[in-house]
Amino acid sequence: MIGPPSCAPWDTATPEAKGETPLPTYNQEAVVLRTRDLGEADRLVTLFTRERGKVNGVARGARRAASRLAGSLQPLSHIRCQLARARTLDIITQVELIESFPSVRGDLTLVTYANHFLELVDVVAPEREAGDLFPLLLGGLHLLAAGVDPGLVSRAFELRLLAAAGFGPALRDCARCGRPVEERGDLSFSPGEGGVLCGECDGGALLRRSVLAALIYLQEADLRQIGRLAVDERDRGEMEGLLRAHLTYHLDRPLRSLAFLDTLRRGER
Amino acid sequence: MIQELTRLPGVGPKTAQRLAFFLLAQPIADVQSLAEALLRARQNTRQCGVCCNLTEEDPCPLCSDSRRDRDAICVVERPADVQAVERTRDFHGRYHVLHGVISPLEGVGPEDIRLAELLRRLGEGTCREVIVATNPSVEGEATAMYIARLVKPLGIRVTRLASGLPAGGDLEYADQVTLSRALQGRREL
Ligand SMILES: [Zn+2]
Ligand SMILES: [Zn+2]
């Protein structure tokens, strides 16, 4: 298909210019989850919007070098945009960048953590409703950008995302018998049973109390305070391992960004 | 035939129909030579054993051209990008085609692109600069950073294409990301 010379895409393709009635438009605040090439010059953009959850939109001409849409419509960008309702896929007509998180994009490890957040949101985000997930995603990205320990941010993010999706691990009460786990006995953790198990109800992997305390803090504290938590390497590794097991069990799919993070760590050693 | 043609990139049903009618109106001999050319090109095309670019001869003409510098390798995502850089006539080194970018979200890891081949080439010791010319997208940047991580310890200089305003463009219409990158990458006059 031979198109007009490239310039701002909405200038070339507005319905008005073609003598059609303009499409109804709506505005959304969103984070770009992912993009995919569509046709010769367009891009299919998956947005996570504050009000409607996951929305797919087409950015026409976004792959041309001169496109005004391309720069802002990249994964991770926090944007305000206007979409035009079309028969099949809505069309992204205008984009205003709120935050592009350059400090996250410019660091391979941080951008991988951020990808992990986007990946999880993409998996659990319902279409047509965002609930608590939108502020959680933005909060997580801002903490990464602010230089807060990405491992802790990630664990807090995972715990809260699981809770929002209805798979939050039980931490204060035994997942099997429901009794508070504060009493004595060896605790364990079982993704299949839905969280921590008390001393009477064994099964699952042994869970040390210091790890449980850190998990409770990461799940319940104000997100802005989580960087203040002090955890040693061993507890940190155990938290990561059991949350990964919990995520994999309940989301039932491989976590690709975490796998890439492992690759990066192996390279560092 | 129309259905087959719509599988080509950028060809919608209307264009496919136009192409089909055009082909049907041509002499049989012309259509046959086109069909044979397509088949021959596909059968004879493979990846160059050195740079991984698509080629009919191995090593490819660029790799076997002794006039090209051996001390710089320009790393690109796809074969079409080699053509794009070649058109500038400003680069006289060699190329390396990754055939993709690292994209954890799409399940593309470092082992899925031609990185091992690049490292093997660098091990030969003639290259002194790797110019990473992946796209200025999130994945392209992440891939560039990953390459820098692998290559810098070898004592080889790693550079990245500058990104800035499109030539002939209008500042007023530049998007914020492009403009702020252009500002960061500003140079002395
Ligand atoms: Zn119990
Ligand atoms: Zn070659």
The whole-number pLDDT of residue A18 equals: 54
Does the distance separating the beta carbons of B104 and A100 come in below 8 Å? no
- Would you say the ipTM is above 0.85? no
Asked if omega into A4 is within 30° of 0 (cis), the reply is no
Rounded Cα distance, B58 and B45, in Å:
9
Does the distance separating the beta carbons of B150 and A267 come in below 8 Å? yes
pLDDT, one tens digit per residue, over A79-121 is 999 999 988 899 999 999 999 999 999 899 999 999 999 999 9
- Partner residues linked to B72 by β-bridges: B129
Q: Which residues of chain B are modeled with pLDDT < 70? A: none
Ligand nearest to the CA of B97: 2
DSSP classification of residue B117: H
Rounded Cα distance, A193 and A176, in Å:
7
Contacts of A168 (CB under 8 A, 6+ apart): A159, A160, A162, A195, A219
Query: For the residues A184-197, what does the mean pLDDT come to?
Result: 91
Q: How many domains does chain B have?
A: 1
HSE at residue B87, side-chain half, CA atoms within 13 A, is 5
- Tell me whether residue B18 is in a domain: no
* Chain A interface disruption, residue of B175, B179, B180, B181, most A CBs within 10 A: B175
A73 pLDDT exceeds 50?
yes
Selected residue with higher pLDDT from A80 and A6: A80
* Least-confidence region, from A172-176, A182-186, A235-239: A182-186
Q: CATH number for the domain including B146?
A: 3.40.1360.10
Residue B107 sits in which domain range?
Answer: 69-160
* Chain B interface disruption, residue of A63, A69, A72, A74, most B CBs within 10 A: A74
A16 pLDDT exceeds 70?
no
pLDDT, one tens digit per residue, over A138-175 is 999 999 999 999 999 999 999 999 999 999 999 999 99
Q: Is A153 exposed, middle or buried (0-12, 13-18, 19+ CB in 10 A)?
A: buried
Query: For the residues A261-269, what does the mean pLDDT come to?
Result: 81
Domain limits of chain A? 15-100, 103-268
Does the distance separating the beta carbons of B176 and A267 come in below 8 Å? no
Nearest to A118 by CA among A74, A87, A80: A74
> Which homologous superfamily does the CATH classification assign to the domain defined by A103-268?
Recombination protein O, C-terminal domain (1.20.1440.120)
The encoded tokens of residue A51 equal 């009000």
- Tell me whether residue B182 is in a domain: no
Helices A150-164 and A108-124, axial angle in degrees (round to 10): 0
- Tell me whether residue B111 is in a domain: yes
Q: What percent of chain A has pLDDT over 70?
A: 90
The whole-number pLDDT of residue A77 equals: 95
pLDDT, one tens digit per residue, over B1-13 is 888 888 887 777 8
The whole-number pLDDT of residue A264 equals: 87
- Chain A CB contacts of B177 under 8 Å are 71-72, 74, 77, 97, 100
Rounded Cα distance, B61 and A182, in Å:
72
HSE at residue B136, side-chain half, CA atoms within 13 A, is 18
Question: For domain A15-100, which architecture applies?
Answer: Beta Barrel (2.40)
Min Cα–Cα distance to chain A from B112, Å = 12
A5 pLDDT exceeds 50?
no
> Which chain A residue has the Cα nearest residue B19?
A1
- Chain A CB contacts of B115 under 8 Å are none
Query: For the residues A27-51, what does the mean pLDDT come to?
Result: 92
The whole-number pLDDT of residue A129 equals: 75
Distances (CA, A) of A50 to A81, A96, A221, B120, B176: 12, 15, 23, 47, 22
Owner of token pair 């608590």: A132
**Alpha-carbon dihedral sign for residues A88, A94, A97, A98:** negative
CA of B75 relative to ligand 2 center, distance in Å:
12
pTM (2 decimals)? 0.82
Rounded Cα distance, A247 and A120, in Å:
9
A42 pLDDT exceeds 50?
yes
